[in-house]
Structure 1
């Protein structure tokens, strides 16, 4: 019987159907890691037994793929495959499947929540009140402010709709989307540097550069509008986090809200832990029961299809 190794602790956490899909197909689902991602050595050990891998934020490198002689499919329990060496998988003719669109609404809603919380200091007020304080913290209204959206796919477009409902002006940058499509969703298409200089708030919805170079390095962060808010619920590595902490400390940036980081969990000595007006959450934007069920079903169905010799519905690359 084929064995499916599930390394992500969030697979089908709120839905039984994804497990049922695997079990009914007889593909032997096994979750060895419990509630935590597998350490690298354990991942290599389990990969050797796997006909299919269902992974989360695990680094599925060429080493992991080489350690899995039976492997026939890699499924990303998510929408981005930047943590998987797709080229190494392709060299072995191993399909990489994923769940595009499954968490778009969850992430877009959460992103807008981060923006609202950062601009109005909601968490700072909560912390102060629970400690016995009663501060009156002022922050700007979103109506009439300009939101710059970097990456105008499913999530960026949903976010644009929420922002329009609040009366915000919209700028968008995405070299892979036609200008007319951007305008059709109520945003003005602009170059990245123009977006940064004009926006009162900037939200990132794009994959990181494969080279590891941050999209927003120190120079681009410094070029943002004074007092602007930065939101990143996409991927770690998009932002120079040290530079961001410094610009928050200097007061150049008004606030930052981040749900994704270059190293996760966040190290104890990370500069953003001590930065003022920084709202930090634990990469949970996609964590809704609805997204969890949709994501699990999509990847389970494609695992079953590949193991049955069929073409998957959602193949990456």
Structure 2
């Protein structure tokens, strides 16, 4: 049995595979499509992150594929229908990076609200911007809006409430009687957009959510509101967001995900000179601790799928 791993993971977790399983750890394959297709030809299992496109072409190149392990939770890079049609099991590492994403949301909310932490270069050059940087705000007493209220958003809510944030959420797919709503105000999406001082996105990329935060939706946000996106690129209209930040309608934004990943110089140019903006390379859920958990859970899932007898 052969496992091909196409992106980085905690290599210590590889010792968790059963004897007799041939493991090829080749994170460079994500950068070389031809080599990836060739490597997949003899694979019974693939382990991927978000950049490896497990599409029809890759599935066709892997006739013996039985299982896909996802080092994370998003599945939009995997042809789920194609896998289902062939009986290929897909295992995300559910819950393994929840804490990391939740801490990222709270951390960027602090930073963007205070607006003081990019002063180091200017201060080294002799600036002393005490007057302007002393105008930053506290997050206590602000309204945190969570668009989507699954496990990660619920973890954010759990961290936010003790800090004095008023937590509200919108999620039509979570039943009104679900216990997660007990300490969170349940709102319709349009109402959430109007009321949130800080809006954090926690929805998958689907035809319904693509472009959801366009210019019209951003205009509905409160003046000075902060937007945080750790879900998926393509949900936020990046040009419209930059315009809203430059115009001063929004007070700040953090983007960990982008419509085109990795972000190249051409795509990145739109963000030049945009105020109070944090950009990170899809790492909200990638910490040292989360990488260990994600890798261990994924190895366990794939090993079990390969070694347990079929019922």
TM-score, length of structure 1 as denominator length:
0.90
Task: For residue 247 of structure 1, report the CA deviation from its aligned partner.
Answer: 0.8
Is residue 158 of structure 2 the alignment partner of residue 161 of structure 1? yes
What is the match of residue 23 of structure 2?
A: 29
Partner of 1:229, secondary structure, is strand
Match of 1:56 in 2: 49
Single out whichever of 177-186 and 256-265 deviates more from structure 2.
177-186
Aligned to 2:204, the other structure's residue is in SS state: coil
Residue 35 of structure 2 is aligned to residue 42 of structure 1: yes
Instruction: Give the Cα–Cα distance (whole angstroms) in 1 for the partners of residues 136 and 310 of structure 2.
Output: 52
1:94 corresponds to 2:88:
yes
Q: In the alignment, which residue of structure 2 is the partner of 1:111? A: 105
Residues in 1 aligned to 2:310 and 2:216: alpha-carbon distance in whole angstroms: 45
Distance 1:256 1:286 in 2: 18
Match of 1:247 among 241, 244, 259: 244
In structure 1, the partner of 2:15 is 20
Match of 1:213 in 2: 210
Equivalent residue, structure 1, for 2:169: 172
- Determine the C-alpha separation between the residues in 1 that align with 2:229 and 2:120: 22
Secondary structure of the corresponding residue to residue 42 of structure 2:
coil
2:136 equivalent to 1:150: no
Structure 1 runs not aligned, ≥5 long: 313-317
- Distance across 2 between alignment mates of 1:130 and 1:150: 39
1:114-165 deviation line (CA, Å, top 9, x unaligned): 1111111244223433454332212121111111011112211111122211
CA contact 2:109–2:139 (8 Å) conserved in 1: no
Alignment equivalent of 2:115, drawn from 121, 132, 139: 121
Residue in 2 that maps onto 1:229: 226
- Cα 1:193/1:127, change in 2 over 3 Å: farther
Counterpart-to-counterpart distance in 2, 1:256 and 1:78: 24
Aligned length: 305
The CA distance in 2 between the partners of 1:19 and 1:261, in whole Å, is 30
Tell me, yes or no, if structure 1 residue 71 matches structure 2 residue 65: yes
Q: CA–CA distance in 2 between the matches of 1:265 and 1:74?
A: 22
How far is 1:62 from its partner?
A: 1.0
Superposed CA RMSD: 2.0
2-structure distance, mates of 1:117, 1:102 = 25
Question: Are the equivalent residues in 2 in contact too, given 1:172–1:182 (CA < 8 A)?
Answer: no
2:306 maps to 307
* Residues 25, 122 of structure 1: alpha-carbon distance in 2 compared, 3 angstrom cutoff: farther
The answer to whether 1:266 aligns with 2:263 is yes
Question: Displacement, 1:63?
Answer: 0.9
Tell me, yes or no, if the aligned pair for 1:44 and 1:64 is still in contact at 8 Å: yes
Counterpart Cα distance in 2 of 1:204 and 1:292: 22
Q: What runs of 5+ residues in structure 2 fail to find an aligned partner?
A: none
* Contact kept? 2:101, 2:284, Cα under 8 Å: yes
Identify the residue that residue 281 of structure 1 maps to in structure 2.
Answer: 280
User: Quick one: distance in 1 between partners of 2:205 and 2:54?
Assistant: 16
